[in-house]
C-alpha cells in the first residue's frame, strides 16, 4: 500500500485511529484500497460515520432487500428518496396527490438526553417529509420504557414526552396518535420511534439527487456547531456501557421555530423550480448529504468548508463534516435560478450559503483552510455502493422452544376475575395515556377528523371526500417469544386498526429495533422478522416504503425485546363512512366476529399477554400461529360491512383481552353508554366455560356493534367470509356489566383508567 499522502491530515492515521472511529481492521484496509493510499483523518471520520451501522445498514441491508420495496401504490421504490411516497388519487382537475410518510428511531440519544433526543427525533423525521416537497400533516410516536416503579423511567418518560410535545407543538404539526409500552427490558435503552406524514402533489416531488455539473451546492438553514459529532457512528451504533453518560455532547439540540421557517422556505424553493436536488442533513451531516446526493446521479461535489456558516470557533474539517447540527438542508440549485433561491430564503429569514458545486467524475473533493482534506469516490461511501454488507451468524434462541412448553392457562391465579380486571385496567401499558396526549396539539392544521384508539383519521383537503388513516403498532412481547408469528401479528394489528375505522391498508414503513447484530440469537430473530414481514406485506399488498434499522439496543445488563414497529397508511374513499371510537347507540347488539384458532380452544391466547405478566411476572408460553390468509378475510369483511353501513363501532382485541377492549369502548363512548356482556355466549371452548376468555389476546377477532335490524345481514356477511359471528351482549346506559363477574359504573371505569396520571405526579 502506498503510504504517501498528498492531502492534508490533522492527525496521523493508522489502524488504531480507524478503530477509534468505529471501523474494523478489514474495513480500514478496504478504505485504503478504495483510495489507493492512507486516508486523511477527515476521510477516515467520514468513512467511519458513513459505514456505521446507523448509516450503512451493513448488517441488515441484505435482509431488507428481500422485502417488497415497490409495487402497489408506491410512486418511488424504498430507499430511493428521503421517505416513502404513496399515490392516493386525483382531484377533479386531474392533479395527482401522494402521501409521504416514514418512521425512524432516536433511541440512543433519548437515553442520554431524553428531551433533546426525542425533540430532535421529531425534527429529523419532519425534515425527511418536507425535503420531498410534502407539507407535514401528522406525527405519531411509539415509545417504550422500563417499568414505572423506577424514578429513572419517570425521568426518561417525562423528558421524551416533553421533547416531542415541545418540538411538534412549536413547529405546528399535530401529534395524532401513538403507543406507550412499559417493560423492564427497556429500562436502560428506551425506544423513541417517531413517524410523520405529509401531503404533496405527485408532480411537485423533489428528488434527493444532485445533478448538473456546475450547479451550485448550498447549505440552507441553521449554522453548524459541534453538537452531534459521532452521534451516528458511535452513539447510535454501539451498546450502552459505563462511558455512555460521557457521550452527552453527541446528542443534538433542536430549534423548532427555525425548522418551521426552514419548512416554508423549502416548500417555496421547490415550488419555484430553482431546486435540482435537496436532502436533509440528519445522521452524519454534510458527510451523508454530499455523498448520497452525488452517488444517486453519479456526479461529484467540490466543497469548501471555509464557507460553511459556523457557530463555534476553530472547528476542524473533521468536526464540520461529522457535525449533526439540526435544522439544516443541503440544496443543489439550478445555476440560472440562484438569485431566486436567495430571495426566497431572505423572505423567510432562513440563512443560505453556497459551499460548493456539482462536478463530474463522482468524487467528493473537500477543502478547509486552503488545504485539500478529502478526495473520495462518493460511491464508496454509501449504501448500495461501496459500503460493506454482511450476513451474520444466526442461531435460534433456546428460550423460544422452552417457552412453548409453558401453558399459561394452567396457572392458578391468586386473584379473583374481578380483581384481575381492575389491576389490568390500571396496568401502565393499558391505562389511559391521556395525561401524555393532552400535552400534544392534535388539531393544528385542521386536518384531524378523529383520533381513534387504534388509528387516527385525517381529512385530505385537496381531495375533499377522501381521507387517510394512520396506525403504529408492535407487541414486542409476542415478537420475543416467536419473531415470525409475532411480526405477522404486529402487521395484522396495524392493518386491523385501519380497517376498523374504514380504511384500506396501502403501505407500511418500519422501524426495526433490535439488540447486538453480532449476537447470533439476536440476528436470528431479525432474520425471522424480515421473513414474516415479507410474506405478510406481499399478501396484504402493503409494500415497504422504507424506514429505519436500529441495532445495538442493549446495555451491560439487558437487551430489549426485538421490536419491529410498524407504521401503516390506509386510504378512506368516503370520509362519511368512517365509524365511531366508542359505543354510539343504546340497545345496539355487541358481536365478537372473526376466526377461531385451535389455541383459542386450548390456552385462550394467554402467552405473552398482559394477564400473564400480571399474575406470573414473566414473558413465557406459546403464542398463536396467526393465519394471515384468514386475517385478510377478516379485514375484507370489515371493509365490506362498513361500506354497507352494517356496523356502528369496531375495535380489535389487543392488550388485556376482550374485557379491557369493552371497558375502553365504554370509557370512550358518548351519552354515558356502557356494555352488558355475557361471555357464556362465546362457544369457542367446546362449551367449556372459562373466565380466561376475558383476558386472552385473541388474534383475527374484532368486537363490533350493530343495530338489531342489521343483525341478520351481519350474519350473512360473516358467513360469506367464513367468520364467526357471536352475539355477546348489548349497549346499555351507565352500567358496565360482565354477567356474574363484574358490575360497575362508567364513572368508576374512567377513574381507574386514568390512574396512571397519579403515578407520574
Catalytically active residues are: 54, 106
Number of C-beta neighbours around residue 475 at 10 A: 23
The SS3 assignment for 516 reads coil
Which residue, among 580, 697, 595, 590, has the nearest Cα to 636 in the 3D structure?
595
Half-sphere exposure of 336 (CA within 13 A, CB side): 2
Q: Helix axis angle, 628-643 relative to 520-540, nearest 10°?
A: 40
**Is residue 210 a contact partner of residue 332, using CB atoms and an 8 Å limit?**
yes
Q: If DSSP codes are grouped into helix, strand and coil, which group holds residue 737?
A: strand
Residues 331 and 216: beta-carbon distance below 8 Å: no
Question: Where does 224-326 have alpha helices with state H?
Answer: 256-272, 285-297, 317-322
Burial of 355: CB neighbours in 10 Å, binned 0-12, 13-18, 19+: buried
Question: Alpha-carbon distance 146 to 568, whole Å?
Answer: 26
How distant is the alpha carbon of residue 579 from its chain centre?
25
| The three grid cell numbers given for residue 188, joined into one nine-digit string | 436502560
| Contacts made by residues 395-403, CB under 8 angstroms, sequence distance 24+ | 395/520, 395/521, 395/524, 396/521, 396/524, 397/521, 397/524, 397/525, 400/481, 400/482, 402/620, 403/481, 403/607, 403/620, 403/621, 403/622
CA atoms of 432 and 754, how far apart (whole Å): 5
Q: Rounded CA gap, 32 and 47, in Å?
A: 11
Show Cβ contacts of residue 529 under 8 Å, excluding neighbours closer than 6 positions.
479, 483, 484, 486, 487, 512, 562, 564
Identify the sign of the CA torsion 337, 338, 344, 347. negative
Taking alpha carbons only, the member of 326, 189, 164 closest to residue 244 is 189
Nine-digit cell string for 438 = 393532552
Distances (CA, A) of 40 to 160, 539, 590: 38, 49, 70
Backbone angles phi, psi at 28, to 5 degrees: -60, -40
Q: Which residues pair with 547 in a beta bridge?
A: 510
**Burial (CB count within 10 angstroms: exposed 0-12, middle 13-18, buried 19+), residue 184:** middle
Phi, psi angle pair for 727, to nearest 5°: -80, 115
**Which of helix, strand or coil describes residue 294?**
helix
Three-class secondary structure of residue 397 per DSSP: coil
Cell of 699: 388474534
DSSP-assigned states of every residue in 3-32: ----S--SS---HHHHHHTT--HHHHHHHH
Q: Which cell is 698 given?
A: 385473541
Contact 52, 63 (CB under 8 A): no
Amino acid at each position: 500500500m502506498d503510504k504517501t499522502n498528498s492531502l492534508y491530515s490533522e492527525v496521523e492515521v493508522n489502524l488504531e485511529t480507524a478503530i477509534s472511529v468505529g471501523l474494523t481492521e478489514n474495513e480500514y484496509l478496504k478504505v485504503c484500497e478504495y483510495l489507493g493510499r492512507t486516508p486523511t483523518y477527515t476521510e477516515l471520520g467520514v468513512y467511519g460515520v458513513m459505514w456505521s451501522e446507523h448509516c450503512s445498514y451493513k448488517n441488515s441491508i441484505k435482509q431488507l432487500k428481500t422485502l417488497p420495496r415497490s409495487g402497489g401504490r408506491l410512486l418511488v421504490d424504498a430507499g430511493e428518496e428521503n421517505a416513502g411516497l404513496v399515490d392516493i388519487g386525483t382531484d377533479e382537475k386531474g392533479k395527482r396527490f401522494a402521501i409521504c410518510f416514514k418512521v425512524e428511531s432516536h433511541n440512543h440519544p433519548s437515553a442520554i438526553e431524553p428531551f433533546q433526543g426525542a425533540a430532535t427525533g421529531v425534527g429529523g423525521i419532519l425534515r425527511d417529509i418536507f425535503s420531498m416537497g410534502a407539507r407535514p400533516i401528522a406525527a405519531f410516536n411509539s415509545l417504550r420504557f422500563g417499568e414505572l416503579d423506577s424514578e429513572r423511567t419517570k425521568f426518561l418518560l417525562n423528558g421524551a414526552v416533553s421533547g416531542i410535545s415541545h418540538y411538534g407543538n412549536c413547529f405546528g404539526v399535530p401529534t395524532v396518535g401513538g403507543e406507550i409500552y412499559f417493560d423492564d427490558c427497556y429500562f436502560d435503552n428506551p425506544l423513541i420511534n417517531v413517524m410523520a406524514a405529509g401531503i404533496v402533489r405527485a408532480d411537485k416531488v423533489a428528488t434527493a439527487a444532485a445533478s448538473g455539473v456546475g450547479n451550485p451546492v448550498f447549505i440552507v438553514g441553521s449554522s453548524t456547531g459541534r453538537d452531534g459529532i459521532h452521534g451516528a457512528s458511535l452513539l447510535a451504533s454501539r451498546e450502552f456501557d459505563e462511558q455512555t453518560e460521557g457521550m452527552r455532547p453527541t446528542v443534538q439540540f433542536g430549534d423548532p421555530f427555525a425548522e418551521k421557517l426552514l419548512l416554508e422556505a423549502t416548500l417555496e424553493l421547490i415550488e419555484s423550480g430553482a431546486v435540482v436536488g435537496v436532502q436533509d442533513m440528519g445522521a452524519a451531516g454534510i458527510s451523508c448529504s454530499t455523498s448520497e446526493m452525488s452517488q444517486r446521479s453519479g456526479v461529484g461535489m467540490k466543497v469548501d468548508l471555509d464557507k460553511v456558516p459556523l457557530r463555534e470557533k476553530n472547528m476542524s474539517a473533521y468536526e464540520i463534516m461529522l457535525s449533526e447540527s439540526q435544522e439544516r438542508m443541503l440544496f443543489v440549485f439550478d445555476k440560472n435560478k440562484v438569485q431566486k433561491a436567495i430571495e426566497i430564503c431572505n423572505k423567510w429569514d432562513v440563512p443560505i450559503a453556497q459551499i460548493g458545486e456539482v462536478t463530474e467524475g463522482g468524487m467528493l473533493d473537500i477543502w478547509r483552510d486552503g488545504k485539500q482534506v478529502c478526495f473520495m469516490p462518493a460511491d464508496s461511501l454509501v449504501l448500495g455502493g461501496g459500503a460493506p454488507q454482511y450476513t451474520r451468524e444466526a442461531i435460534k434462541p433456546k428460550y423460544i422452544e422452552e417457552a412453548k412448553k409453558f401453558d399459561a392457562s394452567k396457572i392458578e391465579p391468586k386473584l379473583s376475575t374481578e380483581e384481575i380486571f381492575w389491576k389490568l385496567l390500571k396496568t401502565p401499558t393499558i391505562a389511559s395515556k391521556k395525561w401524555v396526549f393532552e400535552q400534544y396539539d392534535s388539531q393544528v392544521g385542521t386536518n384531524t377528523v378523529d383520533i381513534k384508539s387504534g388509528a387516527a383519521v385525517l381529512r385530505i383537503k385537496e381531495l375533499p371526500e377522501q381521507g387517510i388513516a394512520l396506525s403504529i403498532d408492535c407487541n414486542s412481547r409476542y415478537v420475543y417469544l416467536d419473531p415470525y408469528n409475532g411480526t405477522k401479528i404486529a402487521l395484522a394489528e396495524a392493518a386491523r386498526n385501519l380497517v376498523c375505522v374504514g380504511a384500506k391498508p396501502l403501505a407500511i414503513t418500519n422501524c426495526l429495533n433490535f439488540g447486538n447484530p453480532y449476537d447470533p440469537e439476536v440476528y436470528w430473530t431479525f432474520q425471522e422478522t424480515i421473513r414474516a414481514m415479507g410474506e405478510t406485506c406481499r399478501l396484504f399488498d402493503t409494500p415497504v416504503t422504507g424506514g429505519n434499522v436500529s441495532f445495538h439496543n442493549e446495555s451491560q445488563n439487558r437487551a430489549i425485546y426485538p421490536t419491529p414497529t410498524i407504521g401503516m397508511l390506509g386510504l378512506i374513499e368516503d370520509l362519511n363512512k368512517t365509524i365511531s371510537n366508542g359505543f354510539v347507540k343504546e340497545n345496539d347488539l355487541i358481536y365478537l366476529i372473526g376466526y377461531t384458532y385451535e389455541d383459542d380452544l386450548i390456552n385462550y391466547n394467554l402467552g405473552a399477554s398482559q394477564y400473564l405478566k400480571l399474575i406470573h411476572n414473566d414473558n413465557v408460553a406459546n403464542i398463536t400461529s396467526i393465519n394471515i390468509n384468514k386475517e385478510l378475510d377478516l379485514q375484507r369483511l370489515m371493509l365490506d360491512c362498513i361500506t354497507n353501513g352494517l356496523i356502528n363501532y369496531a375495535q380489535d382485541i389487543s392488550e388485556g383481552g376482550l374485557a379491557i377492549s369493552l371497558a375502553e369502548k365504554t370509557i370512550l363512548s358518548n351519552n354515558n353508554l356502557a356494555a352488558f356482556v355475557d361471555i357464556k355466549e362465546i362457544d369457542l371452548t367446546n362449551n367449556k366455560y372459562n373466565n380466561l376468555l376475558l383476558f386472552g389476546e385473541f388474534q383475527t377477532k374484532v368486537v363490533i356493534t350493530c343495530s338489531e335490524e342489521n343483525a341478520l345481514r351481519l350474519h350473512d356477511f360473516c358467513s360469506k367470509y367464513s367468520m364467526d359471528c357471536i352475539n355477546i351482549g348489548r349497549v346499555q346506559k351507565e352500567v358496565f356489566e360482565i354477567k356474574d363477574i363484574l358490575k360497575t359504573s362508567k364513572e368508576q371505569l374512567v377513574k381507574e383508567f386514568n390512574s396512571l396520571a397519579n403515578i407520574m405526579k
